[in-house]
Amino acid sequence: MKKILVIEDELFVRENLTELLEAEDFKVYSTENGIIGALWAQENSPDLIICDVMMPEIDGHEVLKELRQSPITALTPFIFLTALADKGNFRKGMELGADDYLTKPFTREEVLGAVNSRLAKHEKTMEKYYQEYQRAEALQQKVQELELYTNQQLPPKLSEECQKALLKLNVAINLIQKIQPGQKRDRNLQIVQTTCVQEIALLKQIPNLFDLISSQQQDLKAILEN
């Protein structure tokens, strides 16, 4: 059951809204005071807030401003009630983060239309945020796996490959030294030279490999940050 907070200082309007919404199976909490309403919203996280603009103590604009500064209610759908139909009033509310306006006197269809559309839009927004969150979690896992491989698994493997390359060269050189000068030695020397070229090329790839891994890490982190 969706929770709706109604903040309205006029008793008739407040009771009318409460009765209308409860008839549609919404759970409604209502208050005539903006301060009490803002505090209740922080403690109970309503699914939607309907708030009058003109109220004593603090008006609806101040209520909305406070709620948008809190991570608990920053994205909560917010609908203003107002008897003021001027464009400046609408603009101010929208700049503060209001989602919709209802002008008094309002009809049942107008209230339910605004409430249902804003709840549906918010639900889609939260689904998108959840999908992006899952995507970020997966990317974060990839970053961690890449960092683990780079820092713990890759160096031993590279060290092993380097040791093998040096061992092969050392064995080849020792064998060459035992062969008498001549055509056979020249042929084996050519083999050693070819091996040297191959192993040196392998060793030269190590800095490029680290650069590639570092670049992949930076790309993944940039995606996470955005």
Share of the chain above pLDDT 90, in %: 37
- pTM of this prediction? 0.61
Binned at pLDDT 50, 70 and 90, residue 212 comes out as: very low
Give per-residue pLDDT as tens, 7-49: 999 999 999 999 999 999 999 999 999 999 999 999 999 999 9
> With 50 as the cut, is the pLDDT of residue 209 above it?
yes
Give the pair of three-digit tokens for residue 170.
């050392």
Residue 48: CB atoms within 10 Å: 23
Is the per-residue pLDDT at 218 higher than 60?
no
pLDDT category of residue 6 using cuts at 50, 70 and 90: very high
